[in-house]
Amino acid sequence: MDSTIFLFLLQDGIINGAVYALVAIATVLVFAVTRVILVPQGEFVAFTALTIAALENGKMPSTPWLLLALGVLAAASELVRHFRELNLRRVAWIVLFDLALPVALLLLTRTLAPMKLGQLTNILLAIALITPMGPMIYRIAFEPIAHSSVLVLLMAAFGVHFSLTGLGLLFFGPEGSGTAPLSQASFSLGDLVVTGQSVAVLIVTAVLLVLFALFFGRTLLGKALRACSSNRIGARLVGIPTSAAGQIAFALAAGLGAISGVLVGPLMTVFYDSGFLIGLKAFVAAILGGLVSYPLTVLAALGVGFAEALFSFWASNFKEVLVFTLIIPVLAWRSVYAPHAEETE
Amino acid sequence: MTVSRAMIPGVCALAILILPFTGLLPEYWITLFNYIGISSLVAIGLVLLTGVGGMTSFGQAAFVGFGAYTSAVLTLNFGLSPWLTLPASLVVTMVVAGLIGAITVRLSGHYLPLGTIAWGIAFFYLFGNIDWLGAHDGLSGIPPLRIGTHALTNPRDYFVVVWVAVVLAVIATQNLLGGRVGRAIRALRRSTRAGEAFGVNTAAAKLMVFVYAAMLAGLAGWLYAHFQRSVSPGPFGIGTGTEYLLMAVLGGAGRVYGAILGAAGITFLRDELQNFLPWLIGNTGNYEAIAFGAVLVLILQTASNGLWPILFGPPPAPTPPKPRDDKRSPERALPAPGTALLQVQQARKAFGGLVAVNDVDFEVQSGRIVGLIGPNGAGKSTTFNLITGVLPLSAGQIRFEGHALRAQTPQRAAALGLGRTFQHVEIVADMSVIENVALGAHLLGAAGPLRAIFGLDRSEEALLFADARRQLERVGLADVAFRPAGTLALGQLRLVEVARALCLNPVLLLLDEPAAGLRVGEKKALARLLREVRSEGISVLLVEHDMDFVMSLADTLVVLDFGTKIAEGVPASIRQDPVVLEAYLGGVS
């Protein structure tokens, strides 16, 4: 391997790693606040890319219908579960968020899609369509079992992943698609050709990571979320509504997933089920970061991206095998040096 | 009750041999039942692994793959008979599971299921990328099973093979769970501390369960390969692995028959969805995943204990074997009364900067009751944990029967005859009281998993249960012996712990606040029991807050305060000791 190839692999790895970092940060955030290991995180990524691809072709994407379906489900499950404690405000909120918002977005998409308004509109619309899915999924699947063990939540997350993948096939079909690059520019650094797309990925990721740090370090809401993550009961006692915290965490996760989808769309052909592997690799990074530390997670995500690039150069067939085997020694190491108490049920 | 339960295997055997040939079931259903049987084997393994042992595995499908591929390669490339590849499949799965398990079972908390996801995915890609395994296309043309010249290609023939395997697996698993090792496994999920305190080697027990579950999956893989007659990586991925887990959870994790119910439920559901959804949606695709995920979430939300307990109620009480005569386990030779049994010398334990036990010295002579008292946070329980090997010493030493205890572990403490109880009761709530007590006799037995599986451990079990019953009678709980331990009051549970510690046949009893939560009558009975135990030559080290109880009982008292010994002597002098009074009441000067 000469230095050109190495630099190329490094660039490739860093770009993939940057995307994994965003997804991994979302995984860590959701786990910290709700203890849910969000297996379906990758679905947000894939669905966003597919939505943008449809919009670029001037076609009406199926995403608003998926959003509406989730909204109806969320409204129904909430109405059934909290039938006795419903009041006007709550019903109004349900109608507004679960039904009116998806319908409005549906009409908006219908109007905008044939007009081909350009990349920025497509991206914003896709993010707006995907982000509300997060809190909806939280309310449908996880809120009723919010106090269960991590294992029960993990199994539920797998259930959600299965359902979402099936819905993805139903709504988006089996064909894969890619999206237009964010920037056509490219320049060379010595032997290395750097594309505008890679620079865009790095800039977006870096900006988001800084925003994230500011949000958790400086704002009251960010601090409240951190409080939920370190001690749920304590957070409740000081008046932080943990359910709302869960929904916010899921909204942020879906939003971060959507942005990752925007970044990943031009890099690869995305299928309805591509999210799983992206999510899992991010997840490897999240675990390397111990599911708690954001900076460690970002480093780990870059590491995973680079390892993947190297493995695909040396043994491309065994890329996935090696990436996932990588996790086991890390888990063993963490079990010895950061064991957590036995969870009691 | 016992008659009808004894008849179950016979009825099953008859049904398996006759049912497929009656013509009552169309071939389609027979095939479905074959798949249910194959999945049941994997799910039974998962019930043991997850429901009983507390280790959630998403990766069982990979072991099915090892079983299937082993047989496929050996029959196709080496022309071996499928009957010969059965042991090969089992051995390969055993070896692979042993290697993976050695790491996996040491993962703590949710790292363990995450680990199983990781290797589950890795093996899926491995199967799909190895050329001599046929890569993504897999291997086809696998020969069928043969009896003589008759090939078992008809699903009706195969039905017999599959369900004989399931019945054997159920019997083996029930036997395993009912035995000495089974009790240790059942203790893993609820209380590893209790198991270890009575000599259970947690890591070994976990690994044993892991390998057993994997071998059932390997057997399922072998059956699958010769029924399907082709293998490809698809059914051995993480999706199928999760489906197996779903079967175990749906049936009722922890219930062996539930695994079959769960396997049947999921297989039927998938089949119906595959027929129904294309009709509903209009085109074909893998849409059953949608309903599948929804069902999983709904089960977890509404019936996280699974269907079997809802349909058939709680598990029946165990029927321990009765000893033929009043044979007893051999008694331990106790040291002569008055010799130094346990010597704590300059024992020190520091957690970072906090010195919890500060150079403490005391001695327990054999045949004596020594009380260890002190205000909250004095270091009493830490001292206990140092003696029993739960925590390592920072400095100093502890000698037992004259030998220094080096690298003390709870298991070694149990082997030396240190029987303990816990400040916060460590009881396996979903196991009967008598089985909890019999866990104390773990080291008195020797039967391993194989003897249990083949039912050769009955006479030893009879002895252990006789011991357990005798100790339960001593603490006055013989009438609740077959109740689930979780239904007892706290005071009763403390007595169960005392009985369990006595079951170890101890030299020294270490009791951590045994009287807390006991009523006055129960306290008197406990005091009487401990005096009786002392008269038999067993020594007692007692942490207790109830001063009347401990003063009336103990021969000597050791008083700790802030980790330091402040007094030692007979109860009457301790009662007058100004330093002790100050520690308990604050300045009385």
Cβ contact (<8 Å) for A159 and B300?
Answer: yes
Closest C-alpha among B502, B526, B490 to residue B440: B502
Give A163→chain B minimum CA distance, Å. 4
Mean pLDDT of B216-239: 91
B107 touches chain A (CB under 8 A): yes
pLDDT above 80 for B394: yes
Max Cα separation, chain B?
99
Strand ranges, E, within B154-285 = 230-231
Q: What is the side-by-side strand order in the sheet with B395-400?
A: B354-365, B340-351, B395-400, B403-404
- The pair of three-digit structure tokens given for residue B347, joined into one six-digit string: 């024992």
Residues B568-580: what's their mean pLDDT?
87
Mean pLDDT of chain B: 85
pLDDT in tens, B267-311: 888 888 777 777 776 666 667 778 888 888 888 888 777 777 777
Q: How does pLDDT run across B12-51, given as a tens digit for each residue? A: 777 777 777 777 778 888 899 999 999 999 999 999 998 8
Instruction: Describe the crossing of helices A275-288 and A294-314 by its angle, rounded to 10 degrees.
Output: 120
Q: Name which of A166, A318, A328 is nearest B119 (Cβ-Cβ).
A: A328
Minimal-distance CA residue of chain A relative to B240:
A162
Which stretches of B233-382 are assigned E, i.e. beta strand? 340-351, 354-365, 369-373
Collect the ranges in chain A with pLDDT lower than 50: 341-345
| Extended beta strands in chain A, E state | 186-189, 192-195
Residues of chain B with C-beta less than 8 angstroms from the C-beta of A161: 293
B574 token code pair? 């301790």
Cβ neighbours of residue B88 under 8 Å, at least 6 residues apart? Answer: B70, B71, B74, B80
Short-list B68, B72, B73, CA closest to B90: B68
pLDDT tops 50 at residue B119? yes
For the cut 80, the answer to whether the pLDDT of residue B503 exceeds it is yes
Label the pairing between strands B395-400 and B403-404.
antiparallel
* pLDDT attached to residue A1: 64
CB A43 within 8 A of CB A165: yes
Report the SS3 class of residue B534.
helix
Q: Which residues contact A182 (CB under 8 A, 6 or more apart)?
A: A119, A196, A197, A200, A201, A262, A263, A266
pLDDT at B583: 82
pLDDT at B215 over 90: yes
CA distance A105 to chain B (A): 24
Distance CA B92, CA B133 (A): 15
Q: Which of B105, B242, B266, B290 to mutate to test the interface with A (most CBs of A within 10 A)?
A: B290
> Which of B109, B117, B300 is closest, CB to CB, to A340?
B109
Q: d(Cα A72, Cα A51) in Å, to the nearest integer?
A: 20
B121: nearest Cα among B254, B236, B255, B262: B236
Q: Token match 């305190």: residue?
A: B197
- Percent of residues, chain B, with pLDDT higher than 90: 18
Cβ pair B370, B556 in contact under 8 A: yes
Question: How close B297 gets to chain A, by Cα (Å)?
Answer: 5
> Does residue B4 register a pLDDT over 80?
no
Please indicate whether, in this complex, the C-beta atoms of B285 and A159 are within 8 angstroms of each other: no
Residue B430 sits at the chain A interface (C-beta within 8 Å)? no
Cα–Cα distances in Å, from A322 out to B107, B221, B449?
Answer: 20, 25, 35
Mean pLDDT, to the nearest integer, of B490-500? 90
Q: Is the CB of residue B203 less than 8 Å away from at least one CB of chain A?
A: no
Mean pLDDT of B77-104: 91
Instruction: Compare all CA atoms of chain A with the CA of B283 and give the residue at the minimum distance.
Output: A170
- Let me know: does B219 contact B67? Beta carbons within 8 Å: yes
Is B293 in the A-facing interface, judged by CB distances under 8 Å? yes
Residue B313 has pLDDT above 80, yes or no: no
- C-alpha span between A33 and A231 (Å, rounded): 9
CB B109 within 8 A of CB A340: yes
- What residues form DSSP beta bridges with B404? B399
**Per-residue model confidence (pLDDT) at position B2:** 47
CA distance B56 to B40: 17
By residue count, chain A amounts to 345
Query: What pLDDT shows up at residue B44?
Result: 94
State both tokens at B143.
Answer: 């020969």
**Which residue do the tokens 């090792």 mark?**
B181
User: B149: which 2 tokens?
Assistant: 């010249």
Cβ-defined contact of B125 to A321 (cutoff 8 Å): yes
Task: Inspect the interface and report whether the beta carbons of B129 and A324 lie closer than 8 Å.
Answer: no
pLDDT at residue B327 in the model: 66
B345: its two tokens: 């010398």
Distances from the Cα of B138 to the Cα of B65, B68, B178, B283, angstroms: 11, 11, 40, 27
Q: What is the pLDDT of residue B5?
A: 60
Q: Is the pLDDT of residue B102 over 80?
A: yes
To the nearest whole Å, the CA of A253 is away from the closest chain B CA by 20
Q: How far apart are CA A289 and CA A306, in angstroms?
A: 16
How distant is the Cα of B130 from the closest Cα of chain A, in angstroms?
Answer: 9
Mean pLDDT lowest for which of A31-35, B223-227, B432-436, B552-556? Answer: A31-35
Mutate to test the interface with B, among A37, A151, A311, A345 (most CBs of B within 10 A): A151
Phi, psi of B553 (to 5 degrees): -100, -40
Model confidence pLDDT, tens digit, residues B129-158 = 888 888 888 888 888 888 888 888 888 888
Q: What CA–CA distance (Å, rounded) separates A178 from A116? A: 17
pLDDT band at B411 (very low <50, low <70, confident <90, very high): confident
Sign of CA pseudo-dihedral B4, B8, B10, B14: positive
Residue showing tokens 């346990």: B342
Q: Let me know how long chain B is.
A: 589
B110/A150 CB distance under 8 A: yes
B119 at interface of A, judged by CB pairs closer than 8 A? yes
pLDDT in tens, B458-478: 888 888 888 888 889 988 888
Chains A and B: how many Cβ contacts under 8 Å?
A: 140
